[in-house]
Amino acid sequence: MSRPAVVKALWGAAVLVLVAGCSSGGTEDRPGTAPPASTSASTSASAPASPTGSGAPASGGRVTVAGTLTEGLKSPWGVAALPGGDLLVSSRDERTITRVDGRTGAKTVLGEVPGVVPGGEGGLLGLAVRDGWVYAYLTAASDNRIVRMRYGGADGDRLGAPEPVLTGIPKGFVHDGGRIAFGPDGMLYAGTGETGRTGLSQDRSSLGGKILRMTPEGRPAPGNPFPGSVVYSYGHRNVQGIAWDAEGRLWAAEFGQNTWDELNLIEPGRNYGWPEAEGRAGRSGFVDPVAQWPTSEASPSGIAYARGAIWMAGLRGERLWRVPLSGAERSGEPEAFLTGEYGRLRTVVAAGGDRLWLVTSETDTRGTPGAGDDRILRLEVR
Pairing of strands 291-294, 309-314: unpaired
Residue 51: which residues within 8 A CB-CB, separation 6 or more? 294
Closest CA to 76 of 110, 119, 125, 114: 125
- CB burial of 210-238 (b: ≥16 within 10 Å; e: otherwise) equals bbbbbebebebbeebeeeebbbbbbbbbb
d(CA 232, CA 73): 33
pLDDT in tens, 82-131: 999 999 999 999 999 999 999 999 999 999 999 999 999 999 999 999 99
Band (41; pLDDT cuts 50, 70, 90): very low
Quote the CA–CA distance of 358 and 368 in Å, as a whole number: 18
- The residue count for the chain: 382
Q: What is the mean pLDDT of residues 15-30?
A: 38
Tell me the sheet residues that pair with 193. Answer: 238
pLDDT tens readout for residues 275-324 = 999 999 999 999 999 999 999 999 999 999 999 999 999 999 999 999 99
Please, are residues 175 and 194 in contact by the beta-carbon 8 Å criterion?
yes
Q: What is the mean pLDDT of residues 52-56?
A: 32
| 130: β partners | 133
Interatomic CA distance for residues 215 and 102, integer angstroms: 29
Single-letter amino acid code for the residue at 235: G
Strand ordering across the sheet containing 345-350? 63-70, 376-381, 355-360, 345-350
* 64 DSSP assignment: E
Do the beta carbons of residue 144 and residue 169 sit within 8 Å? yes
Q: Residues 211, 254: contact at Cβ < 8 Å?
A: no
Instruction: Give residues with Cβ within 8 angstroms of 326, minimum separation 6.
Output: none
pTM above 0.75, yes or no: yes
Report the distance separating Cα 213 and Cα 162, nearest Å: 20
pLDDT at 224: 98
Q: Which amino acid is at 142?
A: S
Query: Which of 376, 358, 375, 234 is closest to 301 using CA atoms?
Result: 358
Which residues have CB under 8 Å from 164's CB, separation 6+? Answer: 145, 146, 147, 218
